[in-house]
Amino acid sequence: MCGIVGFTGSAQAAPILLDGLSKLEYRGYDSAGIAVRDGEKETEVVKAKGKLKVLKEMTNNGDAVKGDCGIGHTRWATHGEPSALNAHPHSSDDENVIAVHNGIIENYQELREKLTKSGYSFNSQTDTEVAVKLIDYYFKKYGLGPIDSIARAMIRIRGSYALAVMFKDFPGEIYTARKDSPMIIGIANGETYVASDVPAILKYTRNVYYIGNMEIARLVKGGVTFYNIDREEIEKPLTEIKWDAEAAEKGGYEHFMLKEIHEQPKVVRDTIHSVVKDGKIDFSEIGLSDDEMKKISQIYIVACGSAYHVGMAVQYVIEDFTSIPVRVELASEFRYRKMTLVKDSLVIIISQSGETADSLAALREAKDKGIKTLGIVNVVGSSIAREADSVFYTLAGPEISVATTKAYSTQLIAGYLLAMQFAVARGEMEEAKCEELLKELYTIPEKIEKILEDKERIQWYANKLAGAKDAFFIGRGIDYAIGLEGSLKMKEISYIHSEAYAAGELKHGPISLIEEGIPVIGVLTQQDLYEKTVSNMVEVKSRGASLMGLTTYGNYSMEDLADFTVYIPQTDAHFAGSLAVIPLQLLGYYVSVAKGYDVDKPRNLAKSVTVE
């Protein structure tokens, strides 16, 4: 959730740190700070509450802070209110150790009491300051250097963390360590970078190392050495990031979210082509064989947020195509459920970042129980990608806006392809039928482009919704699953209270909330459920609701019922969600714009939820 950037090299560090932190603003934060060292001189620390522009103004965009080695941080408050005092970096009492930290230290109170008895004082309310002073304590007690002091602290700390640490006696060096919180290290042209996410350093290098759980790294100019928790030196593979640096820029769009909505035809096409070779689905690179698919007796789809909504939609498709029962579980609940997992089952973990804390914990829980796991992730080398038995990489590229759009769409495509291959492998779908579905799947990108051409109409309607206090989305089957995502888009970026309901549940309580003028968005792409959902829309209209209908071309009777109608091209009903979600993304976006909100960085939210 917070952001970390570090640099050591020959260039001035502060501008690089500030630039990197600006690429991580999408993660959500309330304060920021940098610490920069110029050779043997004292480290200069600058911190500020609020947006990064405040820190930039204080440092003249970094030019006022001299030095070629430094660390920076954007903080999202967990322990202690947002303030300059609680902002990172934090230092030991004598500034022997200075560090930034992502994550949550669960036993910080216990450690704080121990350190207080040892003579340490505390200036902030943060758990991070405890970690910094614990490292300093071991550094001075044993005198064995940075690696030893960090390793000893890691053993004592409970919780999650990514740390970037500087020591007074080791100028030009940065030390990093991690547990359950992401961290990457990049090298290029004699300079070394560290960051909590790829976009921060993408313009400088595409060659990165992924530091593993309970590992430590020593960064020097143009080099890095890795150690395990036992202080033993280890080797790490270098990974090339395929993303184009320009993909992390706005490219002329007003917001990243709008740019990423428009990128969906390309990334959907790329994701299809990644596993479809010569008209056949090829999962050889994913590591899930037909023989393994035949043995699966139960599928659990586990995810959070929008990825959970993907699971809800994919559940219908898998159960339609195969005889495999599917359960969709919230990762934050699944990890604490005391249930027996079915033998020969598969747990599918969906996560854009591959670092979502609850999803990662659910993956580990499944593996501990001997259950096969498959990750659907967007970030190569991420924790879920490394730890899952099999991995399906979506090719969405960097997604910067907090509200997901293109990652969601590529996850849906991955789910369709999995469902189709499961059906073929198990003899539950003829090859000819699969080929027919693939041909239809190939048309999805072009049909998304057609929907995007009509976005001005949606913008017009969104302006009328800007004053709404509440909104409801209704649908049945796959349409209900898509309504869940449309509702989330509305609430997370426009701050309108929004709920999605299975349309058949209206009479079981929700209909009591309908009053004059309240917007109700009906999603009706499943033709066999069309008339039933129309009946539900008539019910809410008779109670004063203002209706928007989202349906396929041909259902023109919708215009007689709804106040505003959006049409999507016809496609196979199983794939309709990939088209229906586009107008809902645009609706949420344009309502937020009409209300003057920061679309890409909605309040209180972060892109990657890497702590509980």
Residues 362/302, Cβ–Cβ less than 8 Å: yes
Residue 3 host element (H or E): strand 3-8
Q: Residue 35 CB: number of other CB atoms within 10 A? A: 30
Distances (CA, A) of 181 to 45, 288, 331, 443: 24, 27, 17, 39
Residues 15/63, Cβ–Cβ less than 8 Å: yes
Known catalytic membership, residue 168: no
Q: Catalytic: which of 2, 69, 304, 434?
A: 2
Cα angle vertex 500, ends 494, 502, to 5°? 165
Residue 589 host element (H or E): helix 576-594
Q: Distance (Å, rounded) from C-alpha 483 to C-alpha 319?
A: 20
Which region, left, alpha or beta, applies to residue 71 given φ > 0 means left and ψ of -120 to 50 means alpha? beta
Q: Distance (Å, rounded) from C-alpha 350 to C-alpha 377?
A: 6
Residues 335/362, Cβ–Cβ less than 8 Å: yes
Tokens 């934060």, residue located: 29
Q: Catalytic: which of 133, 406, 447, 607?
A: 607
Residue 483 host element (H or E): helix 478-494
Beta strands in 364-496 (DSSP E): 372-377, 390-393, 470-475
Length of the chain: 612
Sign of the four-CA dihedral 594, 600, 601, 607: positive
Strand-pairing partners, residue 104, are 160
Which of 427, 502, 471 lies closest to 588 in space, CA to CA? 471
Question: What's the order of all strands across the beta sheet hosting 564-568?
Answer: 497-502, 470-475, 519-524, 546-552, 564-568
Residues 69/164, Cβ–Cβ less than 8 Å: no
Q: Distance (Å, rounded) from C-alpha 552 to C-alpha 570?
A: 6
Known catalytic membership, residue 69: no
How far does the chain reach from its first CA to its final CA, in angstroms?
11
Q: Dihedral, CA atoms, 575, 580, 582, 587, nearest 10 degrees?
A: -170
Q: Which residues are catalytic?
A: 2, 607
